Structure 1
Amino acid sequence: MLCCASHRWARRLTAHRPYPDLGALLAAADEAAYDLTPADLGEALALERAARPPALPSLAAHTAWQAANAAYESRFGHVFVVCLDAYEPSEHLDQVLAGIRTRLSHGRDEELVVTAEELRKLARGRLTRLSRRTLSTAQR
């Protein structure tokens, strides 16, 4: 499972392992994420492009999702990312579309900060899920 596609982030995280617990791992992941340069963010965002869209219930929803993403990418030059961990799958499309609408009003620098924060939250969620799966498998 890919948690964050920045090589610098991954090197920083692996340099301090093993971690005594999930909390320590997440703290290290946060610290590594806060130091990402714009080039590091670009590297991470390049692989986020391959992420699947939320489950889309209709052709109209798919069209709306594609149009919103195209507008965002045209404005900022990179893929839109948002952490949806706090939402039910049925809410994902609405959250993505609302997020894009809101964030299209940002300036480039402001949006880069928001994007970095969303990547940090995505990495935390992915590490948490990976850790739980690993623990669950080890307990079998």
Structure 2
Amino acid sequence: MDLATFNALPTAEAASAVRPCADIGAWVDDVVAGRPYRCRDSLLLHAMRAAADWTGDDVDAALAHHPRIGERATGDSVEARLSRGEQPAAAEATAARITAGNVAYEERFGRVFLVRAAGRTAEEILANLTERLANDPATEALVTAEQLRQIALLRLEALVEPDEPDPAAEPDGADR
């Protein structure tokens, strides 16, 4: 949707549009309450700042909606469709190692492994998972929150179309 449409949505509809980005009530409310935004970049900056103080409980609540890495999200929800589009396909051996890593991660940290999968190969995800298994719980909580912030911002960026260039603005370097 374009930014003007997002800015004009009734509050409940705007919240429903933002919630699949990260189902953290206070963040959704903050992003929606910040409207109207003058440009998509101001929306993304506001969302990034609002996500800076996510607590462990916020992250855990949002993770309740995330499938394990390597598992395909099911259902017709916006969040499930976004997740399916973010995770790369993996070769059988890599997929098996990711599955085993997920089990080890959940045993160690008590939650699902979360990584920004968009733009990463299955092998890169496996390497990240393996590396993060060595983290202490406090460090891993910080890393997980950062990964969730990245996912939320990428999803929000995809939700709102880029701004149309102002036809009255001069192109860079133009002589008049």
Which TM-score band applies after superposition, normalised by the shorter structure? Answer: 0.7 to 0.9
AA in 2 matched with 1:25: L
Aligned to 1:31: 49
Compute the RMSD of aligned alpha carbons.
2.0
Is 1:119 the equivalent of 2:155? no
Counterpart-to-counterpart distance in 2, 1:97 and 1:65: 6
Give the structure 1 partner of residue 136 of structure 2: 107
Larger radius of gyration: 2
The answer as to 2:127 corresponding to 1:98 is yes
Q: Partners of 2:145 and 2:155 in 1: how far apart?
A: 15
- Structure 1 alignment gaps of length 5 or more: none
Q: For 1:84 and 1:75, locate their aligned partners in 2 and report how far apart those are by CA, in whole Å.
A: 21
Shift, 1:132, TM fit: 2.5
Partner AA of 1:55 in structure 2 = A
Q: Distance in 2 between matches of 1:81 and 1:21?
A: 30
Residues 94 and 123 in structure 2, CA contact (< 8 A), matched pair in contact too: no
Partners of 1:63 and 1:110 lie apart in 2 by 26
List structure 1 runs of 4+ shifted beyond 6 angstroms: none
Cα distance in 2 for residues equivalent to 1:93 and 1:117: 20
Q: Secondary structure at the match of 1:48?
A: coil
Q: Does 1:80 align with 2:113?
A: yes
Distance 1:118 1:106 in 2: 15
- Answer yes or no: is the 8 Å Cα contact 2:59–2:145 preserved in 1: yes
Match of 1:66 in 2: 99
CA deviations on 1:59-100 (whole Å, 9 max, x unpaired) are 323211211111111111111111234x3xxx5211111111
1-structure distance, mates of 2:124, 2:138: 22
Q: Which has the higher helix share?
A: 1
One-letter amino acid matched to 2:58: D
- Higher relative contact order at CA 8 Å, sep ≥6: structure 1 or structure 2? 1
Question: Identity, % of aligned pairs?
Answer: 37
CA distance in 2, matches of 1:123, 1:101: 23
